Amino acid sequence: MPNYSWPPINTRREIGKRYTRLDGMDKATGHAKYNSDVNRPGMLQSALLTCPHAHARIRGIDTSAAGKLPGVRSVRVIVSAGGEVLWAGQEIAVVSASTEEIARDAVRLIKVDYEVLDHMVKEDDLTKVGNRAKPAGEQVTGDPDKAFKEAEVTSEGQYGIPVLTHCCLEPHGQVVEWKGDAIHYWPSTQNVTGIGPDLAKNLEVPATNVKVHQDHIGGGFGSKFGSDRWGIEGARLSKDAGGRPVRGFLDRSVELTIAGNRPSDFARIKLAAKRDGTITAWESTSWSTGGMAGGGLPLIPYVLTDIPNKRLNHTAVQTNCGPLRAWRAPNHPQASFLTCSAIEDLAAKLGMDPLEVFAKNIGYAPEARRETYLYQLKKAAELADWSKRWHRRGDTGAGPIKHGMGVGISTWGGAGHQSTCQATIHPDGSVEVELGSQDLGTGTRTVISQVAAETLGLPHTAVKVKIGDNSYPPSNGSGGSTTVGGVSSSTRVATMNALEKLFEKVAPSLGATPDKLEAVGGKIMVKGDSSKSLTWAAACKKLGVQSIVETGQNNPRNPRGLNTQGTAGVQIADVSVDTETGVVRMQRLIAVQDCGLIVNPRLAESQVFGACIMSICGALMEERIMDAKTGRVMNPDMEFYKLAGIGDIGDIIVHLDIREENDRRGVIGLGEPPTIAGIAATSNAVANAIGVRVPMVPMTPDRVLKALEERRSA
């Protein structure tokens, strides 16, 4: 059996190169076609009718006027009379028509008789949620009462992080064409292999009937795995129309209202500690919502899981709001924010440097990552010039602009998922690899080409990468930062298997046994004897008319050392706060990220940049605002659902922790981990700047001014 191990770090020729992404030019110039760009002959457009009430029962629904509007093809009722609607934005009916405008006009002609019922959409004040509170029961470890009694110091705070909504630039949706036994499906998906069977199951047809195709996706972030109500109804509309293709993408307001959110988390946290900063006990009362499912216990205390004495009480709150979905590092940014804020408040109370307090307590972190955290805290401090620029809580400098720095930490898994790759070497020397995977914009295509090229001794541009189609061998959906580990490992195995076959074919002509051959620099040669070689083309010619077709798998239960899981990360934010206006500006965000073997440092850094930008949004501006009375999302748009622009992000400084000892661990996913610590770091930086904790993120001017006002009047 071939040795699939990654070549040693210093001998790699393609892996580790900073190539720009293969589809970068296509994306930048608009040549790349997303599925929302798909325009099929005879295509119909669809539009959804969504419920304007946060809780209602449908007494009756009359679609006759809509159905008669010229241009309308069909109207389908999703929730019929008697049905209960649990949040504003829930899908009630869907219309297909010759144009999107006609479809939307028709939606307005559907008459629905709603019995409006009581709703509850706000969870920030736990005393006001009544029977919507679902306590999860108390969890106690050790003896927290004793620890608090004996504590040399205690520190207390309340912290809140609101619901965020998904806001992919390409909204959810699909083009779908259901003709006879064949369903051609162009969804915006993170799950090229898995979404076909999901649609098929919902339509009660065999999975083999669904053909999925997607070249590019305009963002997913955890929200695009299933076929969704709109995909299922889209297929039925197509069937209604005799197989004409039907396009249906959510508009921005529906997208932000129902296409998935990240649950909120609120907590009162109390810490007990020794005077030297050693934490001895943790007590928290937390609550959260992600819609009618409530919200689970946050992962607190985060990273420092082994604090010996703990009492945790959590309450899930059911709200009449759109449902939660995975959102880039589910539960982690909230937990990091809650934990790191509480620890920084303790450090401030002790008059200690928070980096010291984190270091002091690192023994509570999982053993495998402790040294990494210590290294990263030091590295981040060095990059931030912490020893010179950090000050105790409250910038005492003159003028209204205050500066501050703060730290946050993260952890993540990121092991490679199940993935199969098929590698083909053709007699003309061309090479293709096929995977039923997807490139979420992370550079998956490029990474696959580098792995294949490394194995075959070719330049990465010589490898044709085929992904984005469910006729290729299956790969799992891209969630949990599992893709890079999965596809790089399966590609490594498949191309290695193919190369072995090629070695067998050419070995006789080189007068050697296959195990003595290697593929380097576009040649097949006898190891250590460059005089005995064939060019790649000459070697492949020996295949005659028969291509080599080999597969390879990544099996998560036995990844052969090619990928693994478990990362640490530290981020430091450096902010300025205008204490007269409460406006916070990010100056620098320093991200030190542990990541295992990096296939392409440029693309990896790009992941971290994007993650940091999302953290800055979450820390300073991003928030779903619900209206208590109407039960509606007030800001389902990109006007008041605020996201950062280039001028809002400051300098982002990325340090990938590429060291041989990390590299040896194999490939680890990087999509999620760098999006975790930034909110915590920013909140701590603002507290450090202005001398008081802004308890709730995002730290908008009203909240910053309120915290300053409360400090003045205290």
Partner 1 sequence: MQAFEYASPTSVKEAVDMLSSNWGETDVLAGGTDLISLMKEYLHTPKRVVNIKGIRELGGIRKSGGGLRIGATVTIDELAESAPVRAEYPSLVHAALGITSPQIRNMGTVGGDLCQRPRCWYFRQGFGLLGIENGASLIPDGENKYHAIFPHPPAYYVNPSSLAPALIALGAKVKLTGPGGSRELPVEQLYTIPKDNNSRETVLAPNEILTEIIVPSAKGVRNATYEVRQKEALDWPLSAAAVALKMKGTTISSARIVLGHVGPTPVIAGEAERMLAGKSLNQNLAAEAGKAAVSGAKPLSENAYKLQLTRVAVKRALMEAAGLKA
Interface with partner 1 (CB under 8 A): 101, 104-105, 108, 580-583, 620-621, 625-630, 632, 634-635, 637, 639-640, 642-648, 700-702, 705-706
Strand arrangement of the beta sheet that strand 463-466 belongs to: 463-466, 431-434, 419-425, 548-554
Q: How do 56-62 and 84-85 pair as beta strands?
A: antiparallel
Q: Largest Cα–Cα distance in the chain? A: 88
Exposure string of 345-377, with b = 16+ CB inside 10 Å and e = fewer, is bbbbbbebbbbebbbbbbebbeeebeebbbbbb
CB nearer to partner 1: pick between 184 and 588: 588
Q: How many CB atoms lie within 10 A of CB 204?
A: 6
The beta-strand segments (E) located in 15-98 are 44-50, 56-62, 72-77, 84-85, 91-97
Tell the smallest beta-carbon distance from residue 67 to partner 1 (Å): 18
Tell the smallest beta-carbon distance from residue 653 to partner 1 (Å): 19
Q: Which amino acid is at 322?
A: G
249 backbone dihedrals φ, ψ, rounded to 5°: -120, 140
Contact criterion met (CB below 8 Å) for 43 and 174: no
Exposure string of 593-626, with b = 16+ CB inside 10 Å and e = fewer, is bbbbbbbbbebbbbbbbbbbbbbbbbbbbbbbeb
Q: How do 517-520 and 523-526 pair as beta strands?
A: antiparallel
Tell the smallest beta-carbon distance from residue 705 to partner 1 (Å): 5
Tell the smallest beta-carbon distance from residue 634 to partner 1 (Å): 5
CB nearer to partner 1: pick between 320 and 700: 700
Residue 435 CB partners (closer than 8 Å, separation 6+): 419, 420, 421, 422, 448, 465, 466, 467, 472, 473, 475, 487, 490, 491
Q: Helix H segments across 511-551?
A: 536-541
CB nearer to partner 1: pick between 320 and 489: 320
Tell the smallest beta-carbon distance from residue 630 to partner 1 (Å): 7
CB nearer to partner 1: pick between 592 and 616: 616
Tell the smallest beta-carbon distance from residue 70 to partner 1 (Å): 10
Tell the smallest beta-carbon distance from residue 43 to partner 1 (Å): 19
Q: Helix H segments across 402-535?
A: 444-456, 483-510
Inter-helix orientation angle 678-690/332-350, to 10°: 30
Tell the smallest beta-carbon distance from residue 64 to partner 1 (Å): 19
Tell the smallest beta-carbon distance from residue 558 to partner 1 (Å): 47
Distance CA 305, CA 364 (A): 6
**How many angstroms from the chain centroid is the CA of residue 239?**
34
What's the DSSP call for residue 146?
A: H
Tell the smallest beta-carbon distance from residue 710 to partner 1 (Å): 12
Task: Classify residue 244 by burial, with Cβ atoms within 10 Å: 0-12, 13-18, 19+.
Answer: buried
Q: Which amino acid is at 25?
A: M
CB nearer to partner 1: pick between 415 and 575: 575
Distance CA 601, CA 406 (A): 26
CB nearer to partner 1: pick between 101 and 515: 101
- What is the four-CA torsion angle of 557, 561, 566, 570, rounded to 10 degrees? -160
Paired tokens of 418? 């199940």
Distance CA 390, CA 240 (A): 66
Tell the smallest beta-carbon distance from residue 582 to partner 1 (Å): 7
Residue among 314, 269, 260, 318 at smallest CA distance from 123: 318
CB nearer to partner 1: pick between 44 and 350: 44
CB nearer to partner 1: pick between 559 and 650: 650
CB nearer to partner 1: pick between 28 and 634: 634
CB nearer to partner 1: pick between 271 and 617: 617
CB nearer to partner 1: pick between 113 and 156: 113
CB nearer to partner 1: pick between 238 and 261: 261
Tell the smallest beta-carbon distance from residue 701 to partner 1 (Å): 6
Tell the smallest beta-carbon distance from residue 97 to partner 1 (Å): 12
Distance CA 73, CA 67 (A): 7
CB nearer to partner 1: pick between 441 and 582: 582
CB nearer to partner 1: pick between 551 and 630: 630
Residue 507 CB partners (closer than 8 Å, separation 6+): 513, 514, 516, 517
Distance CA 171, CA 224 (A): 10
Tell the smallest beta-carbon distance from residue 254 to partner 1 (Å): 12
Tell the smallest beta-carbon distance from residue 315 to partner 1 (Å): 24
CB nearer to partner 1: pick between 108 and 711: 108
Paired tokens of 3? 């040795």
The beta-strand segments (E) located in 117-197 are 133-141, 153-161, 164-165, 173-179, 182-187
